[in-house]
Structure 1
């Protein structure tokens, strides 16, 4: 593309000529790198001229001062691939991205500091942002259009008007971006409702809006706000996300969405959110909290024009017809060969209980009182809290204070109670059969930190308060971090004891002659997570609506593969199945 110039005046201008942005969202971190080119080619063939992506702080700085920009986090390769295909880019590197992503992309280690305040001018938060930006923009700034890269626009914050109204914070972010070499035009994006636009707007940047329907109502609100500037829907929500326990997979009418897209393009520019949703691999799903906890499922299919596994949908074809009225569309020829494969039933070969291998998996931290996951230096997964009783002790009442999100309580390794969300706030009677026990284990699970709204600062996981026994705080705890990653999986010894009905690991070896995309069907299994060749595919839960986990072909090996399931409920089968199609519920 060469060095170019992008400007915002009465409309967008590329090298002095009016330019309509027709963009689609693809999050590189939700797609295996081997498929980036395929997804970008399909975006271009639908008629889009731009790709938009967030940048998740929590992945790029997993621990303070540790910066990662390779593998699935190599956004340089992603954006240069887009550029090779003739696509421009919008990058949204806000500290906060929402995106139905764990803590909205903010790193969990921020919460290890007592009194931390997020998304404001609180000095320790801004200090962490500055350190991150210095590392980030060294890599990102050279990709701007005036440096010969594909980036046209960047965003200062994301939907800040729905969270706060501190103008000084927005000004501080913009200043830090510009100090670190950002030269392209800047935007904000907010919902066009109530005072969101006023709260989230920053003079000197272009305000854009996010919505999923009724553009004939939403765009005039933006027009009134910006007066002479170009109209842009930064997030045109073409579908929606699913939460565990939803009755069915969320879908949106392709016909209605296409009509709304036509109206937007007749009046301005657009970014489709999402063009391709991808997958919340590992424990990266976020949660919402409106009276109760609603963690999102592993799939981020979003009912997007391109499905989770990259399949072209009816919505894609309808959008392509609309876009063809405003821009050139290209032949649908794609360079990446992708096949869907079924590998059938694969049997469980080995089983071992968590309690048997716990000392092998983690070195415990000892403390008189329980410490939250963040205080233990752990970000995601499970934490087990263990303590012992005096022989003469009798427990009659139990209560967990300030504990999230889910806790399974065991006395002498026998299951007593499972508590979730609001249930964790109550006191419970302990029957005499459990009350004379010598040991208590509390297995806590981080189900995904809230990614939107004022509860973000209250997302400490594990036990952040106390364990009350008979009304008083119990002292003397050993705490075992269980992140369920490749390093931990290598420590599993399946020769040790298996106790049915307890949280356990299951090993399923299987052979693959030809690698293809497949879906791991976990019918008959309860709740847990799945690691394939050391890669955490994500969570499963029989309450649905998601029934199968997407397995991209690049995660498979030709020959021997190993699947490890961690299941917490004692609900298991003797096998799993690998099938060629999803079951979206």
Structure 2
């Protein structure tokens, strides 16, 4: 039987073992490309792959689980084993990862008293149920049972959030009792009180996350251990992520990163974050909030060793060279044929305004006061709030009270104002001119915050209400729009200018290949390809094109639907072979 142990070092079958790992999030890569990415990881010299596990995808609605298709974690683990890779699994349940709500499912917030990441009873009950289901799914993939999982992580960067050690011990106990047999680790930044706050050394090996000064931080970690234990950088940050509104795509120095990699491997073990970032498909991007809301873009390229679309970069070769100083580099033939294609331009087929197809997309839910997305049982997307607001008169005090994240306000289906983040709640003044007037507010969930103190306040929609001339207005219809049913859009209905609308394009192609849709001239929204949501776009940038993996296309007719909220659209779309993330250098490699 194969064994893996943590003593003064890592031991595989009782022999010292240096973990050389890279991060790939299976849920950010189409499953048809899992093997390709894992083969490239092995060919760089890595012996291990690390992945988070997103609770919010595997339990999208309470007690409803999904481990199918792109969420077939066991299939990912088995492919990794076939390629020759061990696995570090990080089920957490909190993952951060620049992922929507840090991996927490939205429905936790249906408890108005919910406290996250501490021993709040209702939170612990839901965690226990989920972890039992998850570990039952992957238990046989542990190295103790002939699989390839060698480590599991308890929580994630907990020392940067709180210091409830009873919570950490409870998680470890739940995981053990649910069937987790391999050694446990924790990971935290090595600065401040993070190691002290987030570690349970008697149950899990403390490791550290950082991107520079690794030799110095190893000394801090060794001092924290107080005895000879293995040193490991669980997240060696070699790039960074982009937020909407950033001036440019973030990149880092390959030479500097390679130097730090050498230091990490000289002193211990390493997991490279990210080896391959992938894509925030659909509405899965997270957000940060410090001075203001900063939602992440659709691409999770991260300036990683593989690009978002899987090409090897010069940084890949630099890292491969360093790794070759510590281990033999294998040569596995790449088994997945991947190509890119510029399909050219395609003319608009159909268009319809949101207002004229609302009834086909959602049944209105009526209530006296406004309801949040969580109260409506909705995780992602938009809500359209609609109400009648009476006769012609001046409105001298109009306010949205406690709402998130971006609200577009209409009177009689004509745009009045758009408020985003800190602008929401600003007073508006306007005149109603019709005998009877209708108010509509389209609110978009831009991605729940995935890190730090704002996490417990991530309801979306309008929480407290709408003030009209100094008083809360009552009597609302809610159209929940998760946008997962666009086959119901009625393109035979009317379209009108300068309002949110759906735009349909039919693409006839003879072969499938990776491609990129250019959204220059479009305002804000998202794109679906044959029913699959490839992600958000926004003219604010820096991302201007969205990645379409070949497996989401088909020979013959393909249907692309774009939902756009600003009234800015084009009569054609262009599919090109070139991305637009900024300066991204790739290697031309035959596959």
CA distance in 1, matches of 2:213, 2:355: 54
Matches within 5 A, 1:174-193: 174-193=172-191
CA distance in 2, matches of 1:293, 1:426: 17
Q: 1:548: which partner in 2?
A: 545
Q: 1:103: which partner in 2?
A: 101
CA distance in 2, matches of 1:496, 1:481: 20
Q: Which runs of 5+ in 2 are unaligned?
A: 583-591
Where 1:396 maps in the other structure, the secondary structure is: strand
1:460 maps to 2:459: yes
Deviation (angstroms), 1:482: 0.7
1:571 maps to 2:568: yes
Q: 1:383: which partner in 2?
A: 383
Matches within 5 A, 1:242-321: 242-321=242-321
1:557 maps to 2:526: no
Q: 1:323: which partner in 2?
A: 323
CA distance in 2, matches of 1:98, 1:437: 47
Q: 1:482: which partner in 2?
A: 481
CA distance in 2, matches of 1:338, 1:234: 31
Deviation (angstroms), 1:396: 2.4
Q: 2:580: which partner in 1?
A: 583
Matches within 5 A, 1:12-91: 12-91=10-89
Deviation (angstroms), 1:365: 1.1
CA distance in 2, matches of 1:509, 1:221: 58
CA distance in 1, matches of 2:491, 2:184: 54
Stretch deviating more after TM superposition (59-68 or 218-227): 218-227
Deviation per CA, 1:96-127: give whole Å up to 9, x if none. 00000000000001111111111111011111
Q: 2:511: which partner in 1?
A: 514
Tell whether the 8 Å contact from 1:305 to 1:316 is kept in structure 2 after alignment. yes
Where 1:425 maps in the other structure, the secondary structure is: coil
Deviation per CA, 1:332-386: give whole Å up to 9, x if none. 6301000011101111111100000001100111100000000000000000000
The number of residue pairs the alignment matches comes to 580
Q: Which runs of 5+ in 1 are unaligned?
A: none
CA distance in 2, matches of 1:562, 1:298: 20
Using a 3 Å threshold, how does the CA distance of structure 1 residues 124 and 393 change in structure 2: closer, same or farther?
farther
Deviation (angstroms), 1:465: 1.0
Deviation (angstroms), 1:565: 0.2
Using a 3 Å threshold, how does the CA distance of structure 1 residues 78 and 434 change in structure 2: closer, same or farther?
farther
Deviation (angstroms), 1:395: 2.7
Tell whether the 8 Å contact from 2:37 to 2:310 is kept in structure 1 after alignment. yes
Tell whether the 8 Å contact from 2:515 to 2:548 is kept in structure 1 after alignment. yes
What's the C-alpha RMSD, in Å, of the aligned pairs?
A: 1.0
Tell whether the 8 Å contact from 1:399 to 1:426 is kept in structure 2 after alignment. yes
CA distance in 2, matches of 1:31, 1:413: 39
TM-score, normalised relative to structure 2? 0.97
Where 2:488 maps in the other structure, the secondary structure is: coil
Q: Pick the aligned partner of 2:493 from 496, 518, 535.
A: 496
Q: What stretches of structure 1 move > 3 A for 4+ residues in a row?
A: 433-437
TM-score, normalised relative to structure 1? 0.98
Q: 2:588: which partner in 1?
A: none
Where 1:294 maps in the other structure, the secondary structure is: strand
Tell whether the 8 Å contact from 1:416 to 1:434 is kept in structure 2 after alignment. no
Q: Pick the aligned partner of 1:530 from 527, 540, 551.
A: 527
Q: 2:587: which partner in 1?
A: none
Where 1:275 maps in the other structure, the secondary structure is: strand
Tell whether the 8 Å contact from 1:395 to 1:435 is kept in structure 2 after alignment. no
CA distance in 1, matches of 2:134, 2:494: 47
Q: 1:164: which partner in 2?
A: 162
